[in-house]
Amino acid sequence: MTPNRRQLLLGTAGAALLAASAGAAPQAAAAPAGFPDYRYRRLALVKSKLRYNPTGELIFPTIRGTKNRIPGALAAYYLYYAPHDAPGGICLAYANSLDEEFTEYAGNPIITRNWPGEYSVSHVSSPHAMWNDDAKRMYLYFHGENTVTRLASSADGIRFSYEKEVLSTRLMPAGTTETSYARVFRHDLPSRNARYVMVFMLNNTTNRRDIGWGWSANARDWTFAQTPLVRHQDVGAVNIGGPHLLFRNNSVYVVYNTDRGSGGNILITEVGRDFSLRRHLGVFHDSLSGAPDNGRSAAPSFGTYQGREYMIYEAGDRLDGNIAIAQAI
């Protein structure tokens, strides 16, 4: 397997796409300082082995370490993932390294589409887990329906208590139709009295998806920007989603995937420590044309193991994907 190649766009994303369409050879350039390339290593899960696999597709992985957090944990790493289509269901797998196949938790799904007294929806999906050091609990954000992002929390990462709705279309401008695929990160924004930042997919009646964002003092109660953090048209895509924050070079970056028709790659934009920048840097990860990506990489999450950096991502066609592991090279 040859390494993935990353390019910086010279000028705007639209200019690079125009050059490519005109037949110009791609012009390689140095990646943003401090960011590695990632090479595919293995699938995290073998779908044919899963006990709970109602739709044959897995999306939106998050891996969290359990050391010094969860006494008596099943393993060193917990992987949260889900199918998307109904009935969905938030699932857990575990492993002691990021170089091995994960073991499915026997009690999946750990969160279903029905939570008595709280909600009953067609599906729940897109789990993002964050260990909240302030609360000493695993905070898990998930959507269901696509109009609502919810929060549950747990001391052991397995048995969750429902907390509340944290984001919905009613908190965004008129015409918003989806607020989902959220990830939350610990990051100080002193000017906003915030300690946490959320990034998420934002859709409206034009059916063109952007990246939204919000901030919070406690990771429970949120304020949301009423304009997108990254707009699809600014990076030459029809739809963008699956955002994740990265912290390097005393700055903050958001990485996110495009729809397959717009390249199926993961792009990167520098937003700065105060989220005032919009510096679009182009392709962060070029999807493999062959298996497992088949022209689409999406919803990246990141972790480290024995000092090596890893990217865990959704590989393959929309609603036919699996969870892949790539290692920095």
In a domain, 217, yes or no: yes
Q: What are the C-alpha distances in Å from 89 to residues 107, 112, 245, 295?
A: 11, 5, 25, 26
User: 89-115 burial by CB neighbour count: b if 16+ within 10 A, else e?
Assistant: bbbbbbbeebeeebbbbeebbbbbbeb
Look at residue 106 in the predicted model and tell me its pLDDT. 98
Which two structure tokens, joined as six digits, stand for 84? 């998307």
Which three-class secondary structure state does DSSP give residue 149?
Answer: strand
Q: What pLDDT digit, counting tens, does each position of 294-326 carry?
A: 999 999 999 999 999 999 999 998 888 999 999
Residue 21 lies in a domain: no
Span 214-236, average pLDDT: 98
What is the structure's pLDDT at 222? 98
Alpha-carbon distance of 126 to 141, in angstroms, equals 8
Mean of the per-residue pLDDT values of the chain: 91
In DSSP terms, which residues pair with 64 in a beta bridge?
78
List pLDDT tens digits, range 167-216.
999 999 999 999 999 999 999 999 999 999 999 999 999 999 999 999 99
Residue 116 vs residues 121, 140, 147, 167: alpha-carbon distances, Å: 11, 18, 19, 20
- When pLDDT is cut at 50, 70 and 90, the band that residue 33 belongs to is low
Calculate mean pLDDT across residues 73-98. Answer: 97
CATH code, domain carrying 179: 2.115.10.20
- Looking up tokens 């992002």 gives 149
pLDDT of 2? 36
Please state the domain count of the chain. Answer: 1
The greatest distance separating any two alpha carbons of the chain, rounded to the nearest whole angstrom, comes to 58
**Structural domain includes residue 17:** no
Q: Is residue 80 part of a domain?
A: yes
- Looking at residues 92-117, what average pLDDT do you find? 97
On whether residue 11 sits in a domain, the answer given is no
- Residue 164 forms part of a structural domain: yes
- Whether 22 is covered by a domain: the verdict is no
Let me know: does 147 contact 160? Beta carbons within 8 Å: no
Q: What are the φ/ψ torsions at residue 20 (nearest 5 degrees)?
A: -65, -45
Please provide residue 192's backbone torsions phi and psi, each rounded to the nearest 5 degrees. Answer: -110, 10
Closest CA to 241 of 312, 161, 297, 295: 297
Name the pLDDT band for 32 (thresholds 50, 70, 90): low
Position 282 confidence tier, pLDDT thresholds 50, 70, 90: very high
Look at residue 19 and tell me whether its pLDDT is greater than 60.
no
Task: Spell out the residues 6+ positions from residue 174 whose beta carbon is closer than 8 angstroms to its own.
Answer: none
Instruction: Print the domain residue range for 209.
Output: 34-328
Q: Is residue 23 part of a domain?
A: no
pLDDT of residue 152 exceeding 90: yes
Measured between alpha carbons, how far is residue 236 from residues 10, 147, 203 in Å?
A: 13, 25, 16
How many residues would you count in the chain?
329
Angle made by CA atoms 313, 255, 242, in degrees to the nearest 5: 55
Alpha carbons 227 and 236: distance in angstroms, whole number = 18
Residue 13's pLDDT band (cuts 50, 70, 90):
very low
